[in-house]
Structure 1
Amino acid sequence: MTEIITALSEISDRYDALFVDLWGCVHNGRKAIPSAVQALVRYRERGGAVILVTNAPRSRHEVAKQLEFFEVPKEAYDDIATSGDSARVAMFRGAVGQKVWFMGQPHDLSFFEPLKMLKDPVEITRVPFEQAEGIICCGPEDPHAEPDVYRPQFLYAKQKGMKLLCANPDIVVDRGDKREYCAGAVAQLYSEMGGESLYFGKPHPPIYDLARLRLAEHRKGITDAGILAIGDGPATDIRGAMGEDLDSLFITGGLAREETKTSHMPDPEALTDYIQKEMISPTFAMGTLA
């Protein structure tokens, strides 16, 4: 049974570390959520470790720059694990070939920057679609357009046996009050058409392995029983935590705010119905991280 709480401090002394989602929990795509920042700063002041675990298709250094722009202070977290870093390792190991077609926006091009941590990385070249061996998807070119616009290319790609590397498994995010499609929606379409999509962010294991490595760099000896995963995505954050056998805190005021009838707090009956419908079992729930 999911327990509704009103503040992180009600349960924080049970955990040594937090794996915290960013978009919808710590910021809204435009600016920091003050109550969330304050809660994380207080948690770290009491000795807890905070690893931000995000499906952003970029390196942790690029995400850190974005957080500074959003006015999320460094005092709110210890380190960052990104889907982009996890996926970049796979790309430079040749997971989808050497000649790749890139799907994304100009600010995603940092995905192709060299990885110093790898020995003898594969040389990756961005080429036109017709010359590609595989697809690198950081997101749709137009995040407001339906993913179906890629059906013609995907039919050809499937016939050619191309693999699609998905750098961000999120289906949608809310930028302020506008909903946008992410790389996960594109990869989902390709899979439904019979193509092969490779995932590296939540809810898939590689990003959690990376998060544990980041945590160990700051605090050694913390077991999974001492980690609480926090997020607003039922299919990513909560299912990911379930798959890793981690306790979880579901932030209902993000992607599921309408379904859970969340204003300040979720409606208990609506929350129960939503949890059953999504087939998830978060340990705790609250409206906004605070």
Structure 2
Amino acid sequence: MKADATAIAGLHAIADRFDHVLLDQWGTLHEGLAVFPAALECVARLREAGKRILILSNSGKRAGSNQRRLATLGLPPDAYDGVLSSGEVTWRGLHAREQAPFAELGRACFLISRDGDRSIVDGTDLVVVSNMREADFILLGGLDDDAAEPERWREPLATAAARQLPMLCANPDLVMFGVAGLIPAPGALAAFYHSLGGTVLFVGKPHPPMFAAARDQLGRPPPDRILVIGDSLDHDIAGGRTAGMLTLLIGSGAHRATLAQASDLPRAIQTVAGTAARMPHWTMDYLTW
């Protein structure tokens, strides 16, 4: 595999290569407390340079919820061009019922969400049922901390798998930050369901529906004029690569434990990535102009 990740000091070095940015949240813009000062300045400089910025999140909640959260962390809505969450893409797909995987699903769903959030079904013609036995499919939008451990779900999910009940997972992330630290995220529960023989359909990074929806929201520009910036080789980089977009890895995020001690960062990324399909075009330590 060719080592094609070029280390850069800031986005200004490649600003002529892209017109649009798909920007990850956690690990790139912030880590839950406040938007990093350098990232805040970088977003402003991108807008000054005429770039359009769409924030991409694997959150199972709707875009508005994510936008309000970003505002509390210091990034106001007028600083960028929009938020696209996997929950928003899922809601749009379930509302329109025009494309796979949404068109093939039934109307009765068993909803699993965080904090009792029902925004992912509001305004659709779905009927939320309280028992998996009455459902046509399982809609996994989020998980409360106390329900995150997959083994807690073994009995009902084994029964659902035996019934060949499909699961639509609106957040492919495998881990998330809970009160006590890292805990399983919805993607881990989806993987557990798959291990029980269940069929899982994913919306979110790195899966194609997420990047297709992002490109549509930007007005369908050429993919090679879109730069995907994120801290995950599995989600941001792999998804952007598959979509034919440019990619940049933030080294201080999800892979920092592995990359922090590397004397040759691009070579270390090559080792972690494993395949060309997960290799970023560029890399830098943190988001900066």
- Which one of the candidate residues 136, 156, 159 is aligned to 2:159? 156
Superposed displacement of residue 51, structure 1: 0.9
Q: Secondary structure at the match of 2:47?
A: helix
Aligned-pair distance for 1:279? 6.1
Q: Are residue 101 (structure 1) and residue 110 (structure 2) matched?
A: yes
Q: CA deviation at 1:267?
A: 4.0
Aligned partner (choices 36, 50, 59) of residue 47 of structure 1 = 50
Measure the CA separation in 1 of the matches of 2:86 and 2:147: 22
Name the CA distance, whole Å, in 2 between partners of 1:199 and 1:250.
Answer: 23
1:126-137 superposed matches below 5 A: 126-137=129-140
- 1:225 is matched by which residue type in structure 2? D
Q: Distance in 2 between matches of 1:185 and 1:242?
A: 23
Query: 2:244 & 2:40 partners in 1: Cα distance?
Result: 26
1:181-206 alpha-carbon deviations (Å, 9 max, x no partner)? 22111111112222111111111111
- Aligned equivalent of 1:276, options 265, 268, 274: 274
User: Equivalences for 1:108-257 in 2 at 5 Å?
Assistant: 108-114=117-123, 121-142=124-145, 145-174=148-177, 178-216=181-219, 222-257=221-256
Alignment pair present for 1:69 and 2:78 = no
Whether the 8 Å CA contact 1:139–1:186 is kept in 2: the answer is: no
Residue of 27, 42, 60 corresponding to 1:24: 27
Relative to 1, partners in 2 of residues 1:82 and 1:277: Cα closer, same or farther, differing over 3 Å?
A: same
Q: Tell me, yes or no, if the aligned pair for 1:172 and 1:182 is still in contact at 8 Å.
A: yes
Q: Distance in 2 between the 1:107 and 1:266 partners?
A: 46
Change (3 A) 1:88 1:80: same
Structure 2 CA distance for partners of 1:175 and 1:142, relative to 1, 3 Å: closer
Q: 1:58 to 1:18 in 2, by over 3 A?
A: same
Q: How far does residue 125 in structure 1 lie from its aligned partner after superposition?
A: 2.2
Distance 1:88 1:65 in 2: 18
Match of 1:287 in 2: 285
In structure 2, the CA distance between the partners of 1:12 and 1:175, relative to structure 1 (3 Å rule), is: farther
Runs of at least 5 residues in structure 1 that lack an aligned partner in the other structure: 115-120
Please, what TM-score do these two structures have when normalized by structure 1?
A: 0.87
- The alpha-carbon deviation at position 157 of structure 1 amounts to 0.4
* CA positional deviation for 1:36: 1.2
8 Å CA contact 1:14–1:226 kept in 2: the answer is: yes
**Amino acid paired to 1:180:** I
Question: Aligned equivalents of 1:143 and 1:253: distance in 2?
Answer: 29
How many equivalent residue pairs?
Answer: 279
- For residues 89-127 of structure 1, the C-alpha deviation after alignment (integer angstroms, 9 at most, x for no partner) is 33343654222222122253222221xxxxxx5332232
Deviation at 1:140, TM superposition (A): 2.7
Query: For 2:197, what is the secondary structure of its paired residue?
Result: coil
User: For 1:230 and 1:125, how far apart are their aligned partners in 2?
Assistant: 36
Cα separation, partners in 2 of 1:176 and 1:262, compared to 1, 3 Å: farther
The 8 Å contact of residues 251 and 259 in structure 2, kept in 1 or not, is answered as yes
User: Counterparts of 1:61 and 1:14 in 2: how far apart (Å)?
Assistant: 30
Distance 1:246 1:33 in 2: 25
Is the Cα contact below 8 Å between 1:144 and 1:181 reproduced in 2? no
- Does the 8 Å CA contact 2:6/2:266 hold for their aligned counterparts? no
In 1: Cα distance, 2:183 partner to 2:83 partner: 23
Deviation digits for residues 161-188 of structure 1 (CA, Å, limit 9, x no counterpart): 1111101111123469932322111111
Q: 1:123 to 1:111 in 2, by over 3 A?
A: closer
Partner of 1:15: 18
Which segment is superposed worse, 245-254 or 22-31? Answer: 22-31
